[in-house]
Amino acid sequence: MLATRLLDKLRIDDGVGAWPVHGVCGVWGGVATGIFGGHSLSAQIIGAVVVPAWGFVTMFFLCYILDLQNILRVKPS
């Protein structure tokens, strides 16, 4: 709920709640596995940082390339 409230306060539109559910709760699930599941906490924290960073960098460059080719947006009719 705090993540949803943060998005509202920052006036960021996330109509389906993808970031609070998949981002925040997903990271917590991975870190909680390290805390309560007997797995390496440091490995879980590294994964919780590296995987979202990789996804962000990959999608940033993909969207940048698509924007350069003018195929990212729908053409007005």
Enumerate the domain spans of the chain: 2-68
pTM score of the predicted model? 0.70
Q: What is the pLDDT of residue 50?
A: 96
pLDDT level of residue 71 (50, 70, 90 thresholds): confident
Q: Is the dihedral of CA 50, 55, 58, 61 positive or negative?
A: negative
* Structure confidence by residue, pLDDT tens digits, 2-57: 999 999 999 998 889 899 999 999 999 999 999 998 889 999 999 999 999 999 99
Mean pLDDT of 53-77: 90
**Spatial separation of the C-alpha atoms in residues 27 and 39, rounded to whole Å:** 15
